[in-house]
């Protein structure tokens, strides 16, 4: 697969991969989480992989806000907060 060949999809830990269905890279993305390795795939509904990285904006979709919350929850757990 593209991921295994170019991105080492089967290795690594403590990684968040945001994906969005309107993202041109979607099909080559990491689409399944591996909780045992702390590798998480976060779906940005009606968004793209970079929408979650932008600052909050009053027109953000519910999917973008949900992805940010999920990513923050994961990060806080990793940091023991």
What is the pTM (predicted TM-score) of this model? 0.81
Angle (nearest 5°) at CA 21 between 39 and 37: 5
**C-alpha–C-alpha distance, residues 10 and 30, integer Å:** 10
Chain segment 22-52, per-residue pLDDT in tens? 888 788 888 889 999 999 999 998 888 788 8
**C-alpha–C-alpha distance, residues 30 and 15, integer Å:** 10
CB 47, CB 70: distance < 8 Å: no
């Amino acid at each position: 697969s593209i991921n295994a060949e170019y991105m080492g999809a089967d290795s690594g830990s403590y990684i968040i991969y945001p994906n969005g269905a309107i993202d041109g890279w979607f099909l080559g993305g990491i689409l399944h989480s591996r909780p045992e390795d702390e590798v998480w795939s976060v779906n940005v509904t009606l968004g793209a992989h970079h929408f979650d990285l932008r600052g909050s904006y009053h027109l953000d979709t519910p999917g973008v806000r949900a992805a940010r919350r999920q990513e923050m929850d994961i990060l806080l757990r990793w940091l023991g907060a």
